[in-house]
Amino acid sequence: MENIRLGIFPNMNIAKVRIHFDAILELCRKYKITPVLPEPLANMFRQEHFAGRNSQLTAAVSLGGDGTFLRMARDMVKYNVPVFGVNFGHLGFLAEIEYDTLQQAFQLLTDGRYSIEKRCLLASQTFAEGKKTPQTELAINEFVAARSDLSTTNHIELYINGKPSARYAADGLIVATATGSTAYSLSAGGPLVQPGMDVMIITPICAHSLATRPLVIPATEEVEIRLLPRNTSPMALSADGMRVCEIGQRDVVKITKNRQFLRLMRLTDKSYYETWQEKLIHDL
DSSP for 229-279, please give it: TT--S-EEEEETTEEEEEE-TT-EEEEEE-SS-EEEEE-----HHHHHHHH
**First-to-last C-alpha distance (Å) of the chain:** 42
**What is d(CA 98, CA 86) in angstroms, rounded to the nearest whole number?**
5
**What is d(CA 141, CA 126) in angstroms, rounded to the nearest whole number?**
18
Among 52, 89, 54, 85, smallest CA distance to 71 is for 85
**What is d(CA 125, CA 254) in angstroms, rounded to the nearest whole number?**
5
Do 121 and 260 meet the contact criterion of CB atoms below 8 Å apart? yes
Among 278, 241, 36, smallest CA distance to 143 is for 241
**What is d(CA 239, CA 29) in angstroms, rounded to the nearest whole number?**
36
Single-letter code of the amino acid located at 62: S
Active-site entry in 22, 66, 111, 149: 66
Percent of residues in the chain assigned helix, strand, coil, to nearest 5: 25, 40, 40
Q: Is 269 a catalytic residue?
A: no
**Counts for the chain of helices (H) and strands (E), in that order:** 6, 20
Active site residues: 66
